[in-house]
Structure 1
Amino acid sequence: MTAPSAVVRAAMSAAWHAHLQQVDTGWLDMGFALPTLDTTRARTELNWAPTKDGPQVLAEVIEGMREAASGRTPVLRPRTVLGALGDAIRRGPVAVRRRP
């Protein structure tokens, strides 16, 4: 089932302004602006095929967020509110920090 983006955006905006959800329409706008990925070249030249479809990947991402999954890489390191506050005090706002 599909719905026009203007209808979905209006419903999302109303829900956000009524404090029924925590995500504003900017996230929806970003989602609608994402380009689709053409995997033809990877399939033909590398004999590649995806092992998971979009809904499976989204479910995995949501599960990882729910469980606060982490890893050994800098991006996936475990984080806490106190740690983020300490970083902000020591290193300043994220927008002005130098890359590591």
Structure 2
Amino acid sequence: MNRTITFNELRKIKDSLPSGSMHRIADELNLEVDTVRNFFGGSNFKEGKSVGLHTEPGPDGGLVMLDDTTVLDLALKILDEHNINHREEVSEELMQV
């Protein structure tokens, strides 16, 4: 499923995740940890792979078009599991874009 989100919102999600979440996402999705980090704006393509996101300049860090939301969906699930309230703000932001 394709989805568009602002880069700043994607970074907020990453920054809200509990410690160890990058490794958990990588393990559950059978990805390299650097591939998961690349999804959230990293750029280590030596160890990790590209993750099907495209950026366009603009306000709020620009727009990020996601070809596949699997990593994002798991990150939001982790936020839910830890009762991190940022989830509601993120959902509203995703609905507006």
Q: Do they superpose with TM above 0.5? A: no
Q: Please, what TM-score do these two structures have when normalized by structure 2?
A: 0.26
- Please identify which structure carries the higher strand content: 2
Relative contact order higher in (CA < 8 Å, ≥ 6 apart): 2
**Of the two, which has the highest radius of gyration?**
1
